[in-house]
Structure 1
């Protein structure tokens, strides 16, 4: 049995914990867009990444607070300490969720359900935060169970009861089913996971393509052989941030992208990880997503090289952005090497960019991340960026 532990409305819950005046009140965390909403605000239909203007129109009494990323990082660290005190087999998924393997603890700690109950109580006692836990035989089903158990709940899918729990759920609960795929399925009167399970794999492949068809057929039958993995070095380093639909000029998006590249390459140099593949991630106004990638001839951790590649990818995708609007931009560098070695080119003199990167790193390390700012970000606000964790 696997546990999926997921903190409830994480950023908003931290704000409500730290300020008693916000408890049981509708809280929105964000700048131009909503990064997190308390469940009291969600009751009015507020969702992320809705613009703050739309969110306040739906929930006029909402209290808006600016994000405090350091507070969220500290809270996440405390919660993950509880996870690792529960079991050594913890696989982080994001800042506020993880999978935990507990099968080997039965004799020592009891059943998975008992461990889940104690975990929730321990997180509440040590961090003051609500958390939902889903328990099931696969990662996929444990995550679905935690989603169904929110907020602040525990939902166990017993062995043998997987199909009875899964099949009545809407098709959107299957990983990989977004609005476009859901619409295509519903056009064919496929509304639930059970409907997907009753369709042959060949029919799904013909309908959705080889990868998506096989993937959804397997999930509808709860086939997910992945185990909880620990100690895996991440294969990419990235960051992303929400955008306001009003930010449509290329220069605005390019400036935000440059700021994200700055942060990503700074983290790469601190981790001594060079990478070869630059990936641009975009989410449009209709909440569909695309990614565009380009591999470099040799690995790099230089800001200039990564930025030039990311801007080229942005230019290629710009016609789509003009048509559909933009609500999120992200950049990641993948195919990371293990030791940070970069093959120099002749002549063996450090490129000018590398000297600049080193100087910027030293200033920021000594005086803080905000000690230096890119000139093209002056007069522009960068919505808080969040790391992109590996898939």
Structure 2
């Protein structure tokens, strides 16, 4: 948990340019404390500390009201009570926290196929491919925060930027209960006045070392030549400090695979009837699933399509393949076939593609003559994505070709 008390809160309005803010960092505010208060609404607004009521225990979490007294997680309970004698102590309920965490992460999976969980209360969400259907950060972020609050009672703060590092820093500045979008052309103005503690990985000991060299802000680190930083802190640490001080963070959002299933859902901003638009979304979802399978070195035999209609009625259709696969094209065509088999359908609110019956990767057989060729091509695309980003190359030609087919099934009405 953060030691923040909200005193330096910074939020942005809907007018800020969100075109370059392709990564969200979603962080639940004072998660354990907020979750515990769902069952004790009478304590909302009071300084509440989560932990065992013993002088030998430590603080698990604290509300923002308690943080204003200097209370924070991992602090000895005895010291917390000296700082805030009026604090109310609640026993932690980890079963509740786990259930709520899973519920929130499922909501994030509904938004994007690119979700990287960092713990029970925070995650990165890639939204680069969602602008056409769902809008940018200014639309997705507030809608996501509202849905989390409505469906769980929890409050989330969100940072949005072009890198994971700046998005995470932005969410911490937006707390509590806020959202901050940092466009690329404003990143350095936002970053350089921050204290060196804002540099990812810089703890108290490193802060003291930086202070000995007169470096107290990120801007002062940025103004120090790389060679000097490396002579002071070593080659790797010096470069790390230099790169982050200039907001250089090439890491993409990478999902952490589930042991048994690999799936992505997407909730449309508006209900969709157009069959081509549904096929396009299936292509995008299945592309993310295929990439996750290949990254994990596994293959799946069962492909499942989930469809939730405008009235919230939900159906699933599955097909078990003769051979396990990690080839996106196979999963796309299988899911398209499951969609076609539904015939005429009402407007769609949510689509999901899931691969299950997972096993270790093996050589492809001859079920699809060009499976090996497509598999090689997709691995080459994976390598391009790793080096140049997910937008560098995409299988749009496959979608155009499939749109021309006569056997794609009846198209939906307007």
Q: TM-score, normalised by structure 1?
A: 0.59
Q: State the Cα distance separating 1:67 from its structure 2 match.
A: 0.8
Alpha-carbon distance in 2 for matches of 1:198, 1:49: 35
1:162 corresponds to which residue? 187
Contact between 1:201 and 1:214, CA under 8 Å: does it hold in 2? yes
Within a 5 Å distance, the mapping from 1:364-379 to structure 2 comes to none
Is it true that 1:149 corresponds to 2:174 in the alignment? yes
Q: State the Cα distance separating 1:110 from its structure 2 match.
A: 0.8
Contact between 2:164 and 2:252, CA under 8 Å: does it hold in 1? yes
2:105 corresponds to which residue? 80
Alpha-carbon distance in 2 for matches of 1:189, 1:142: 27
| 2:129 aligned counterpart, secondary structure | helix
Alpha-carbon distance in 1 for matches of 2:234, 2:155: 40
Contact between 1:30 and 1:36, CA under 8 Å: does it hold in 2? yes
1:105 corresponds to which residue? 130
1:96 corresponds to which residue? 121
Alpha-carbon distance in 2 for matches of 1:83, 1:214: 33
Q: State the Cα distance separating 1:232 from its structure 2 match.
A: 3.8
Count of matched residue positions in the alignment of Structure 1 and Structure 2 = 236
2:222 corresponds to which residue? 197
Alpha-carbon distance in 1 for matches of 2:38, 2:230: 48
Alpha-carbon distance in 2 for matches of 1:100, 1:41: 30
Runs of 4+ residues deviating >2 angstroms: 231-234
Is it true that 1:19 corresponds to 2:44 in the alignment? no
2:247 corresponds to which residue? 222
Within a 5 Å distance, the mapping from 1:1-391 to structure 2 comes to 1-31=22-52, 32-232=57-257
For structure 2, list consecutive stretches of 5 or more residues without a partner in the other structure.
Answer: 1-21, 260-358, 361-414
Alpha-carbon distance in 2 for matches of 1:62, 1:83: 33
For structure 1, list consecutive stretches of 5 or more residues without a partner in the other structure.
Answer: 235-337, 340-391
Alpha-carbon distance in 2 for matches of 1:221, 1:195: 11
Cα 1:231–1:48 change in 2 (3 A) is closer
Q: State the Cα distance separating 1:116 from its structure 2 match.
A: 0.7
Q: State the Cα distance separating 1:233 from its structure 2 match.
A: 6.6
RMSD (Å) for aligned C-alpha atoms: 1.4
Q: TM-score, normalised by structure 2?
A: 0.56
Contact between 1:91 and 1:229, CA under 8 Å: does it hold in 2? yes
Contact between 2:29 and 2:156, CA under 8 Å: does it hold in 1? yes
Larger-Rg structure: 2
Q: State the Cα distance separating 1:192 from its structure 2 match.
A: 0.5
Alpha-carbon distance in 2 for matches of 1:203, 1:67: 47
